């Protein structure tokens, strides 16, 4: 049906705006204007959020000193790794490869104790001095064999020269050569005996002084964790002490973990883990180094060993810890800590740092772990967001919305 209103609509685009009000009055119908966009016509970024003008209730104006007073920390968002963790109990213990039990290889008496319990020692450092008749005999035998060898070498070289000049008989030369060979053999045996007793040839002189002195040295660096003898104690003999000290290098320790059979299939040698303990100053990272093929019949659990560095001696053998084993790691393009997220009107938001303060930004989330969450929509790489005390910003946003409503 043809009406005046229809005619107005058909020709509206051709009539100057100044004449439209007359047609509106004649037809009795209002002309509806397009609704203005709240967000403006800003260009959308790669994640779909608008870069246009923000509503006042989305903006939180804060000066740098206010941000610092509220203890709000910020950090740029970017790529990261989401980790699935398995938490198990564990016990710190020394690394067996870094423990040395210092034994007395000879029968003797302790004449000096150079190190005490708790002392730090370097590799090769003297721990104790023994007085030993066995050592004195070995040193005397070596010195005697050395003197005899030098003599027989001189006689052999003399007889060899005479034989070559046809002055000495062949039998005399052959006897000298055999005697020299026997002297060489006795000297080699005496030297091997010193080596078996860990006695160095260096410093042995023909004056034969201090032959009973026997030095006990440490084969590793570490700390004295046990001293097993007293001054003057006999050692090395039947029914006598065999060990003098125990040295432990605790710069690296083991963690013995208890893993149930249900979770055992998720554990592999080489996996990373983080250990922590109640009251400890820090946590440490390590790796699984051994998974026992045997199960404990009583606990129905497997023995799993991990290793971690302990340069500052935070971890003491015998202490209990909690270990988080990283059983799965997934890289993501954008990751934020859970502390950066707040829920407002049923939606997940973060607070993006701006020159004036912060602005609220709705985000869509993806995968997550115990600490971090993947952002699949709403943020761009490199943008800086608040990561601590974000509840303060949520409260400020609520105040701004309330004031705007009034």
CA 203 to chain centre: 44
C-alpha to C-alpha distance for 285 and 319, rounded to whole angstroms: 16
CB atoms near residue 201 (< 10 Å) = 12
| CB contact set of 13 (below 8 Å; sequence gap of 6+) | none
Per-residue model confidence (pLDDT) at position 203: 66
Answering whether pTM is above 0.75, one says no
Per-residue model confidence (pLDDT) at position 205: 64
Domains recognised in the chain with CATH numbers = 1-33 (no CATH), 56-82+331-405 (2.40.420.20), 84-96+249-329 (2.40.30.170), 100-247 (2.40.50.100)
In sign, the C-alpha dihedral spanning 41, 45, 51, 57 is positive
Angle (CA) 92-98-99 rounded to 5° is 90
Rounded to the nearest 10 degrees, the angle between the axes of helix 4-11 and helix 17-27 is 170
State the Cα torsion 115-120-122-124 to the nearest 10°: 20
Question: Is 82:367 a contact under the CB 8 Å cutoff?
Answer: yes
What are the 10-residue block averages of pLDDT along the chain, 406 residues in total? 43 39 40 36 43 63 90 92 89 94 92 93 94 90 92 91 84 91 94 87 67 91 94 91 94 92 89 86 90 80 90 90 90 93 92 92 90 92 92 83 62
């Amino acid at each position: 049906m043809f009406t005046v209103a229809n005619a107005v609509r058909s020709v509206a685009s051709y009539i100057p705006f100044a004449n439209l009000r007359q047609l509106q009055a004649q037809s009795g119908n209002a002309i509806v204007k397009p609704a203005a966009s709240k967000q403006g016509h800003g260009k959308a970024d790669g994640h779909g959020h608008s870069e246009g003008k923000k509503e006042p209730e989305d903006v939180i104006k804060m000066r740098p000193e206010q941000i610092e007073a509220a203890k709000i920390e910020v950090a740029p968002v970017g790529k990261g790794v989401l980790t699935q963790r398995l938490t198990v109990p564990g016990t710190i213990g020394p690394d067996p490869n870094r423990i040395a039990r210092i034994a007395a290889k000879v029968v003797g008496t302790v004449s000096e104790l150079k190190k005490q319990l708790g002392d730090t020692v370097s590799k090769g450092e003297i721990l104790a001095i023994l007085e030993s008749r066995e050592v004195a005999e070995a040193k005397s035998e070596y010195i005697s064999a050395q003197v005899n060898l030098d003599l027989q070498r001189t006689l052999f070289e003399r007889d060899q020269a005479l034989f070559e000049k046809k002055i000495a008989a062949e039998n005399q030369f052959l006897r000298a050569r055999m005697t020299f060979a026997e002297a060489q053999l006795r000297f080699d045996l005496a030297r091997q005996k010193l080596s078996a007793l860990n006695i160095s040839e260096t410093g042995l002189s023909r004056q034969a002084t201090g032959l009973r002195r026997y030095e006990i040295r440490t084969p590793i660096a570490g700390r004295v964790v046990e001293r097993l003898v007293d001054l003057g104690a006999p050692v090395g003999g039947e029914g006598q002490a065999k060990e003098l000290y125990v040295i432990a290098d605790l710069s690296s320790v083991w963690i013995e973990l208890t893993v149930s059979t249900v979770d055992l299939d998720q554990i592999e040698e080489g996996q990373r883990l983080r250990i922590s303990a109640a009251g400890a100053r820090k946590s440490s990272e390590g790796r699984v180094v051994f998974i026992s093929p045997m199960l404990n019949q009583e606990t129905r659990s497997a023995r799993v060993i991990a290793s971690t560095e302990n340069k500052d001696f935070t971890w003491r053998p015998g202490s209990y810890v909690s270990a988080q084993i990283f059983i799965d790691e997934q890289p993501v393009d954008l990751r934020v800590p859970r502390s950066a997220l707040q829920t407002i009107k049923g939606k997940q938001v973060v607070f993006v740092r701006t020159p004036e303060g912060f602005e609220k930004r709705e985000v869509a989330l993806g995968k997550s772990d115990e600490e971090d969450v993947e952002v699949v929509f709403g943020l761009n790489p490199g943008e800086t967001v608040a990561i601590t005390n974000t509840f303060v910003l949520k409260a400020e946003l609520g105040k701004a919305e309330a004031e705007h409503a009034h």
